[in-house]
C-alpha cells in the first residue's frame, strides 16, 4: 500500500467526491489504523479491528472452499453501509449512511483504485 501521507490525501479526496461518505479508514491486516477520518466521533480502532476480522474470516472461507481471498464486500446495516476492500495485508473501509446506497459502487471503485497504488 502507498505511504501514509499519500493515503491520507487520496482518502480526503474520496470524502470530497462522495458527500454521502461518513468515514474512511485504512488499516493493516490486524486492524491497526494507518489513517482514518469520520464525520462524527467514532472509534476508528474498534471499527478497523472488526473489519479486519471480517476480512480474515472471509479469506479463510475462500481458502476452505477453494475460491481464494476476499476482494471486496459491502455490508448493509440497519442505518447504513460499510464497504470493505481487503487483502491479507491491508483493509480499506468506507462508511455511508442509509442515503449512501447510490454511491456504494463509486466508493468501492475508488477504494479498489487506492488499494492498488
Give per-residue pLDDT as tens, 18-63: 999 999 999 999 999 999 999 999 999 999 999 999 999 999 999 9
pTM score above 0.85:
yes
Instruction: Give residue 95's pLDDT band: very low, low, confident or very high (50, 70, 90).
Output: very high
Angstrom distance (rounded) from CA 34 to CA 53: 16
Angstrom distance (rounded) from CA 30 to CA 73: 18
pLDDT at 1 over 70: no
Q: Which residues contact 57 (CB under 8 A, 6 or more apart)?
A: none
Mean pLDDT of 68-78: 95
Q: Where are the beta strands (DSSP E) in the chain?
A: 21-28, 33-38, 72-77, 80-86, 90-97
Find the CATH number of the domain harbouring 54: 3.30.450.30
Torsions phi, psi for 22 (to 5 deg): -100, -10
Owning domain of residue 87 = 4-115
Torsions phi, psi for 73 (to 5 deg): -155, 145
What pLDDT, on a 0 to 100 scale, did the predictor assign at position 49? 98
pLDDT at 2 over 90: no
Share of the chain above pLDDT 90, in %: 89
Torsions phi, psi for 111 (to 5 deg): -65, -40
Q: What is the CA radius of gyration of the chain?
A: 13
Count of the separate structural domains present in the chain:
1
User: Mapping DSSP to helix (H, G, I), strand (E, B) and coil, where does residue 68 land?
Assistant: coil
Amino acid at each position: 500500500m502507498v505511504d501514509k501521507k499519500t493515503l491520507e490525501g487520496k482518502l480526503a479526496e474520496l470524502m470530497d467526491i462522495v458527500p454521502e461518505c461518513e468515514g474512511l479508514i485504512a488499516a493493516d491486516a490486524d486492524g491497526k489504523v494507518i489513517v482514518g477520518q469520520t464525520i462524527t466521533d467514532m472509534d476508528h480502532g474498534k471499527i478497523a479491528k472488526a473489519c479486519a476480522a471480517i476480512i480474515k474470516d472471509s479469506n479463510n472461507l475462500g481458502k476452505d472452499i477453494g475460491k481464494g481471498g476476499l476482494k471486496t464486500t459491502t455490508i448493509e446495516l440497519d442505518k447504513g453501509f460499510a464497504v470493505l476492500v481487503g487483502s491479507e495485508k491491508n483493509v480499506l473501509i468506507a462508511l455511508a449512511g442509509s442515503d449512501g446506497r447510490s454511491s456504494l459502487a463509486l466508493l468501492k471503485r475508488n477504494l479498489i483504485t487506492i488499494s492498488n497504488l
